[in-house]
Amino acid sequence: MVASGDNRRALIAGNWKMNLDHLQSIALVQKLAWTLKDRNFQSDHVEVAIFPPFTDLRSVQTLIAADKLEFSLGGQDLSPHDSGAHTGDISGAFLSALACDYVLVGHSERRAHHGEDDEVCVAKVQAALRHSLTPVLCVGETAEDLETVGQSAVPVAQLGAVLREISAEADIVVAYEPVWAIGSGTPATAEQAQEVCAVLRDTIRDVHGDAQADRTRILYGGSVKSSNIAGFLRGADVDGALVGGASLDAEEFAAIAQFEKHVTID
């Protein structure tokens, strides 16, 4: 029994960050596929997506197609531009051509290390939508924000800035990732995650109405493990997880994808 919204298929997404070269990526995807098959994983309720580094995408895409694996694929970033003199950048058109379904936008590491502000995130979300990619917009507060303005103000502002520049018909995914919980081993509590995800859904409702609010999947990310995933997914507004470190271990990520086995009904 999935506690998240009935009409929203759960999404368990693995953000590999800057880990694994293209050969290692093949080994991990193969192991993940075998592990899920061995455990009789049913993908009807749960979509599993992986976000490898750019240099791995072609290898992973080829493997997914050849072995007919039920994994969605995404890039970790994209250029706001479609083509041209942007050395080192990757166009959404290229990700689309590699059969990517998704692309991360505004991950806190991009915001912190590459100075990506809301304006850049808006342009990247628009670029993703132009190329038929579903942007996974990452929002979240730092530890300092948490102390000064509380947990919801910053993620709500980051989401609102993007929503106001896209249409109510656009399909996006939102990932609430409190910066203090990322890679720290200290996740938000399930209650905190649900509280913020509910406020983020209200924000979508306020800006674009019921249809987009009801269909948009909102994920939690930050120190997600197989031992805490079930608690997060019990939240009515938490529709999945964006997993960093734990997505690099096939057994652990498979166990996270099988969160339904850990969910107990009250």
- Burial (CB < 10 A; 0-12, 13-18, 19+), residue 87, is exposed
Please report, as residue ranges, which positions from 53 to 72 form the binding site for ligand 13P (by CB under 6 A).
none
Active site residue 107: yes
Q: Work out which of 4, 15, 72, 216 binds ligand 13P, going by CB under 6 A.
A: 15
Instruction: Rule CB under 6 A: say whether 193 interacts with ligand 13P.
Output: no
Choose the stretch contacting ligand 13P; rule: CB under 6 A; options: 18-26, 80-88, 111-119, 215-223: 215-223
Q: How many CB atoms lie within 10 A of CB 25?
A: 22
Please state the closest distance from residue 231 (CB atom) to ligand 13P, in A: 15
Q: Work out which of 156, 182, 190, 233 binds ligand 13P, going by CB under 6 A.
A: 182
Q: How far is the C-alpha of 2 from the C-alpha of 265, rounded, in Å? A: 9
Please state the closest distance from residue 186 (CB atom) to ligand 13P, in A: 9
* 266 Cα distance to chain centroid: 28
Q: Work out which of 128, 200, 224, 238 binds ligand 13P, going by CB under 6 A.
A: 224
Q: How far is the C-alpha of 99 from the C-alpha of 108, rounded, in Å? A: 25
Please report, as residue ranges, which positions from 80 to 109 form the binding site for ligand 13P (by CB under 6 A).
107
* 111 half-sphere exposure, CB direction, 13 A CA radius: 22
Please state the closest distance from residue 6 (CB atom) to ligand 13P, in A: 26
Q: How far is the C-alpha of 82 from the C-alpha of 266, rounded, in Å? A: 49
Q: Work out which of 74, 155, 178, 221 binds ligand 13P, going by CB under 6 A.
A: 221
Task: Give the active site residue among 47, 116, 141, 177.
Answer: 177
Please state the closest distance from residue 229 (CB atom) to ligand 13P, in A: 11
Element of type H or E holding 50: strand 46-51
Instruction: Rule CB under 6 A: say whether 244 interacts with ligand 13P.
Output: yes
* 60 Cα distance to chain centroid: 18
Q: What are the helix (H) ranges across 14-107?
A: 22-38, 57-66, 92-97
Active site residue 177: yes
Give the footprint of ligand 13P on this chain (CB under 6 A): 15, 107, 177, 182-183, 221-224, 242-246
| Residues involved in catalysis | 107, 177
